[in-house]
Amino acid sequence: MFFLDIANATVVAAQTLWQQDIAAETIQIEKTPAHFEGDITIVVFPFVKMARLKPEDTATAIGNELINTIEGVASFNVIKGFLNIVMKPAFWLNEISKIKSSSNYGKLQPAESKTIVLEYSSPNTNKPLHLGHIRNNLLGWSLAEIYKAAGHKVVKVNLINDRGIHICKTMVAYNMWGKGETPRSAGIKGDHLIGKYYVLFDKASKEEAVELGIAKDDDTDTPLMLDARAMLRDWENGDARTLELWNKLNSWVIEGFEATYKRLGVDFDKIYRESETYLSGKEIVMKGISDGVLQQDPDGSVWIDLANEGLDRKILLRSDGTTVYMTQDIGTAVARQKDFSADSMVYVVGNEQIYHFDVLKKTLKHLGYSWADSIMHYSYGMVELPEGKMKSREGTVVDADDLLDEMKQTAADISKEAGKAQDLPAEELDKLYEMIGQGALKYFILRVDPKKNMLFNPSESIDFNGNTGPFIQYTHARIRSVLSKATESGIDTESLEWNSEAALKTQEKELIFQLLSLPQMIGKAASAGSPAIVANFSFELAQMFNSMYQEISILREPDEILRNNRLLLAKRTAETLRFIMELLGVELPERM
């Protein structure tokens, strides 16, 4: 990790010059801007106070120390409070030669590894997964992989919301209009089938509201809604017929979810179900009443008053004794802490739930759970289409399965138009189109800062020349083609050795710098919780290789030493691209 080596040498310089200690991680080291001479820039303003010198003089003093202590430093220059260091070509080649395996090189070993329980997906069993769920799943899965690469133990969990009023709506609708229909008889996945009845319920309830003179957007007292609430009470009271129907419909939906998860490439270490945690949450709430932490109103409902903490009163149990989302989240959080002794519990949930998680943390703290502060709401923005927002109840969502099919077909159409990989066998082409389609979808979503709302346009995500997954996939395939041609010409690419005495072109040096920055990037992405940092790094790396490929000959280079170094650089780039794109769940093809 050359950044750390430079930082440590700067620490020693400060001790030698001014007998002052400074933490290596606080030293700002950057790539020197293109319009200045240099490779590495150290920001020296933090040293000015201890040196009692002008910024320029402080930087000069540090530069002189580094040129004497680091063999790889060729020269330096100072621009105000910025120390620009020029490294010898041998430094870069010696550093890159130290990397034996990119799969291990990028992984960090922190002084303190944490156990992180990370929840994502968390679907309701009343509808199929949609585009919003895709962003959630991709963010959650990628975040888990980034945390692992940063040296932490990660437990990926899913909470299936398989009970509640929304589930009862589909049950009421199926009882009324299902006529014994099954996924097999309908010829569709179970989650799609049940989603159909959720939409039917909403439509029928709104029509009832209009007939009864109730506001269309407030159908809480329609006959259908009263039936749904009655069914929820029957469920919580253990009514056998209600539970039988509930089990049947949920099993269809969960089977559908599992098929989508498998295709999307996401997985979980443990799956919780709300139906298994809500009772423990209810018990905790009841204990909170006896402990005087919670309040019970005359109608029997239970509340927590957080008005003095910038929130308001939050219901935890309804007057009829049924539970709410907060109740089961309390039970689930306590169960997870018991199961894994987590240092941090991360919830990947959209930003519309910020208030919910503020209440959850404060409620758990009032209930006596000191670890409540370890809860982190990983809030992300909504994903929309050019056509506008999606609404599940109205059936205007973009179904995840349909979107995956559309991405595959779009990948096939654009690949054919661009003349890519048309010489491959049909079966291999089919796999390639799936890989390109999913690569385009995942990269397009993950390259955006998770805190921002985003607009997803399928056709824009598949561009072999832009900031897209397919561009990076094609770069990897190009490198693999170069290496294959080298092997065919008799070069043993597995036995090549770096030669540190070779000259370096600017494009090669920039590419090496990017490769050596990998550990720093992983640390930054983990600290910020941002797969976008990984995505943008991979795009820059692919761009740099393509720039080198266009400007510098590899296989046609007559100098064997230069050729072999460039082949090794190409190979290391391909390995690094594969490693970092795996953190995003994107597969890279050998041929395109």
CA–CA separation, 260 and 123 (whole Å): 12
**Interval 501-513: pLDDT, tens:** 899 999 999 999 9
Domains delineated in the chain: 2-87 (3.30.1360.70), 120-384 (3.40.50.620), 400-582 (1.10.730.10)
480 pLDDT band (50/70/90 cuts)? very high
Give pLDDT, residue 321: 84
> What number is the average pLDDT over the span 296-303?
96
Residue 385 clears pLDDT 80, i.e. is over it: no
Read off the pLDDT of residues 97-130 as tens digits, 9 standing for 90 and up. Answer: 988 655 678 888 888 899 999 999 999 999 999 9
CA 60 to chain centre: 42
- pLDDT, residue 278, reads 87
Say what the pLDDT of residue 389 is.
47
User: Of 313 and 212, which is predicted with more confidence?
Assistant: 313
Q: What is the per-residue pLDDT for 420? A: 74
Out of 3-17, 40-54, 212-226, least confident range: 212-226
Residue 531 scores a pLDDT above 70: yes
For 73-100, write each residue's pLDDT tens digit. 999 999 988 999 999 989 999 999 988 6
Question: What is the pLDDT at residue 4?
Answer: 84
pLDDT for 414: 87
* pLDDT greater than 90 at residue 221: no
Give residue 395's pLDDT: 45
The pLDDT assigned to 398 comes to 81
Question: Mean pLDDT, the chain, as a whole number?
Answer: 92
On whether the CB atoms of residues 542 and 471 are closer than 8 A, the answer is: yes
Tell me the pLDDT band of 546, cut-offs 50, 70 and 90: very high
Q: Which of 454, 255, 470, 273 is nearest to 350 (CA)?
A: 454
User: Which residue do the tokens 């003095």 mark?
Assistant: 308
* Contacts of 123 by beta carbon, 8 Å cutoff, 6+ apart: 129, 133, 160, 161, 257
Which amino acid appears at position 355 of this protein? Y
**What share of the chain in percent tops pLDDT 70?**
96
The per-residue pLDDT for range 457-478, each reduced to its tens digit, is 877 888 888 899 999 999 999 9
- Which pLDDT value is given to residue 387? 63
Residue 158's pLDDT is 98
Contact 294, 287 (CB under 8 A): no
**pLDDT score of 427 more than 50:** yes
Looking at residue 266, its amino acid is V
pLDDT digits (tens, 9 = 90+) for 235-266: 989 999 999 999 999 999 999 999 999 999 99
* Statement: residue 48 has pLDDT above 50: yes
Confidence category of residue 391, pLDDT binned at 50, 70, 90: very low
Confidence band of 58 (pLDDT split at 50, 70, 90): very high
DSSP letter string over 47-80?
HHHHHTS-HHHHHHHHHHHHHHH-TTEEEEEEET
Note the pTM of the prediction, 2 decimals: 0.91
SS percent in the chain: helix, strand, coil, step 5 = 55, 10, 30
Q: Check: CB of residue 416 under 8 Å from CB of residue 422.
A: yes
CA quadruple 420, 426, 431, 437: dihedral, nearest 10: 50
